[in-house]
Amino acid sequence: MAEAFLNTLCGDKYEAKSAGITPTGLNPHVVKAMSEVGIDLSTHLSKSLMEFQGKTFNYVATVCDAARENCPFFPGEIEIDKSFPDPSAFTGTEEEIMQNVRVVRDEIKSWVESTFCEGNLPKGDLAELYRG
């Protein structure tokens, strides 16, 4: 969700890439929740962190504690850690799960807007990642 929001809301400044420690495919509840706000994830693929080994990023954002603890080192990075509940862990009825996914979706959107789109990134020695 963070990748999709970043590329949609402030893709003129950043190019986001997303990957997981153990890619398992897209969560259908997340796909549905994102479609409700006009973002189509149906053609996206779940990627492994290993696809990005050896690449340098200006910023590496982790959005769950497990990712931060297990994320390999990416040279030149400024780390940004923000924890959100994992939608794949939600249980209950379909509507209860969707309500919880929507809450996380909206929290991630707000975080992306304030952190990236409005320029509240942590300061460091690296220039902002600008698509140029």
Q: What is the mean pLDDT of residues 108-119?
A: 91
pLDDT-based confidence at residue 112 (cuts at 50, 70, 90): very high
Query: pLDDT tens, 10-37?
Result: 988 888 888 877 777 899 999 999 999 9
Q: What domains sit in the chain, N to C, each tagged with a CATH number? A: 2-117 (3.40.50.2300)
Burial (CB count within 10 angstroms: exposed 0-12, middle 13-18, buried 19+), residue 47: middle
Q: Pairing relation of β-strands 59-62 and 78-81?
A: parallel
Q: What is the mean pLDDT of residues 57-64?
A: 79
pLDDT-based confidence at residue 47 (cuts at 50, 70, 90): confident
Q: What six digits make up the tokens of 17? A: 């890439």
pLDDT-based confidence at residue 130 (cuts at 50, 70, 90): very low
